């Protein structure tokens, strides 16, 4: 035993344990997967949690700890709720690839079913916001104008007037919201991912969130109308100024060169 406890402190021990755990999970998975199918009528909820736990142990535990209690590499997930998992994993932010000022949106590597399992497991660790229902986040029937006002009060300071994104301190940033699913926008407001503050229902009601989603849908999507023409990134005067210099004054100088140039002379023979 003494030998074993000494070896536990070896730097490589963690790796060995991880490998063993991986092998065990894989083995367990193959062992249980067909069986669980057979017992289909068993409590579906606890099964989902079981599956989620397995996925968690493979993909998340190295940073967030085996029980979701958090480590120096990742925060505790107890009480963050299913909505946070659905947002983080559903937008590809988790699992994180590399440390940096901020973990960006990436390709999603889990299927929605797997995300649901993970979410169910994390939700079982402690109460937190649930994944919103379609009824909650669907922009239909919402008040777009009220959403605009709410967006300008609560969101535009980081995400720009129409959600084009902006800079925060030390390389962090608020991302562009174009193409983000309404569900994920809802979840982000509810859970406050990374450095974004949360806007819980107590201060920004579910109806308010719906209005904001409807506003974003109107002003920052593929279908957004820009009556005046090119949007120029929707970034305001900086891109407008660049455009005026390059294409406005640039074109006029090109024209001036033509106006002032000598007309070709007849060739001397």
Q: What does the alpha-carbon distance between residue 2 and residue 81 come to, in Å, rounded to a whole number?
A: 41
> Token pair of 157, please?
């300071």
Provide the minimum distance between the beta carbon of 78 and other proteins in the complex, in angstroms, as a whole number. Answer: 14
Give the residue among 91, 81, 93 at the shortest CA–CA distance from 120: 81
Question: In the range 199-228, which residues lie near other proteins by CB under 8 A?
Answer: 199-200, 202-205, 208, 215, 218-219, 223-228
> Token pair of 144, please?
């777009």
The nearer residue to other proteins, 27 or 200, going by C-beta atoms, is 200
Question: In the range 86-125, which residues lie near other proteins by CB under 8 A?
Answer: 101
Q: Which of 43, 45, 46, 153 binds other proteins (CB under 8 A)?
A: 153
Provide the minimum distance between the beta carbon of 231 and other proteins in the complex, in angstroms, as a whole number. Answer: 6
Q: Which residues neighbour 6 within 8 Å (Cβ) at sequence distance 6 or greater?
A: none
Q: At what angle do helices 81-90 and 182-191 cross, to 10 degrees?
A: 130
Query: Rule CB under 8 A: is residue 192 a binding residue for other proteins?
Result: yes
Q: What does the alpha-carbon distance between residue 88 and residue 96 come to, in Å, rounded to a whole number?
A: 9
Give the residue among 59, 58, 125 at the shortest CA–CA distance from 93: 59
Provide the minimum distance between the beta carbon of 219 and other proteins in the complex, in angstroms, as a whole number. Answer: 6
Q: Which of 174, 177, 185, 188 binds other proteins (CB under 8 A)?
A: 174
Number of residues that bind other proteins (CB under 8 A): 86
Query: Rule CB under 8 A: is residue 249 a binding residue for other proteins?
Result: yes
Query: Rule CB under 8 A: is residue 259 a binding residue for other proteins?
Result: yes
């Amino acid at each position: 035993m003494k030998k074993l406890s000494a070896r536990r402190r070896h730097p490589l021990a963690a790796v060995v344990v991880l490998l063993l755990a991986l092998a065990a999970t894989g083995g367990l998975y193959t062992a249980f997967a067909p069986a669980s199918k057979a017992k289909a009528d068993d409590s579906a909820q606890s099964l989902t949690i079981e599956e989620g736990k397995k996925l968690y142990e493979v993909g998340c535990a190295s940073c967030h700890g085996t029980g979701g209690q958090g480590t120096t590499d990742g925060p505790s997930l107890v009480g963050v709720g299913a909505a946070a998992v659905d947002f983080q994993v559903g937008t590809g932010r988790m699992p994180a690839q590399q440390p940096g000022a901020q973990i960006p949106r990436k390709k999603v590597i889990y299927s929605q079913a797997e995300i649901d399992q993970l979410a169910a497991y994390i939700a079982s660790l402690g109460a937190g916001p649930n994944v919103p229902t379609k009824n909650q986040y669907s922009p239909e029937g919402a008040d777009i104008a009220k959403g605009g006002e709410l967006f300008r009060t609560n969101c535009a300071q980081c995400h720009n007037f129409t959600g084009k994104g902006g800079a925060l301190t030390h390389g962090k940033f608020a991302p562009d919201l174009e193409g983000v699913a309404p569900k994920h926008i809802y979840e982000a407001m509810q859970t406050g991912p990374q450095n974004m503050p949360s806007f819980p229902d107590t201060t920004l009601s579910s109806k308010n969130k719906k209005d904001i989603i409807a506003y974003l849908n109107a002003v920052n999507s593929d279908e957004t109308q820009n009556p005046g023409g090119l949007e120029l990134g929707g970034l305001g005067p900086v891109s407008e100024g660049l455009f005026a210099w390059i294409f406005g004054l640039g074109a006029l100088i090109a024209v001036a060169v033509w106006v002032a140039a000598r007309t070709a002379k007849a060739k001397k023979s």
